[in-house]
Amino acid sequence: MSRHSVRCGDHADAGDPEEEWLVEGFASAEAAQEYARRFIRAQIEDLRREAGSPEELAAMYRRWGEYAVTPGFDAEAWVAHCIANPAARRQDTDYAALEPRS
């Protein structure tokens, strides 16, 4: 069985290895990508409450949010989508439900 991972980190401390971590053990690239989508959306939705405009939300995310990257996932396009389209369902931000089990 193939294993895939998602690299996550904190924009505020970019480049600091103490602020970057790997979530490993996804059974497919699609599962890893869905985790990354939900992780980023959760970050944006948390910041949305404080932002006054889409531009401010984008700046806040890039300054204080946490990122997720995995092969085949266009994080920049997804961030733009999330800023323009608020989450409609709780599961849209529930990345923890997708964490691989040991």
Q: What is the pLDDT of residues 65-81, one digit of tens each?
A: 999 999 999 999 999 99
For position 102, what pLDDT does the model report?
62
**Could you tell me which residues are beta bridge partners of residue 66?**
10
In 59-102, beta strands by DSSP E: 66-69
pLDDT exceeds 50 at position 1:
no
State which H helix or E strand residue 38 sits in: helix 29-48
For position 9, what pLDDT does the model report?
94
pTM greater than 0.85 (yes/no): yes
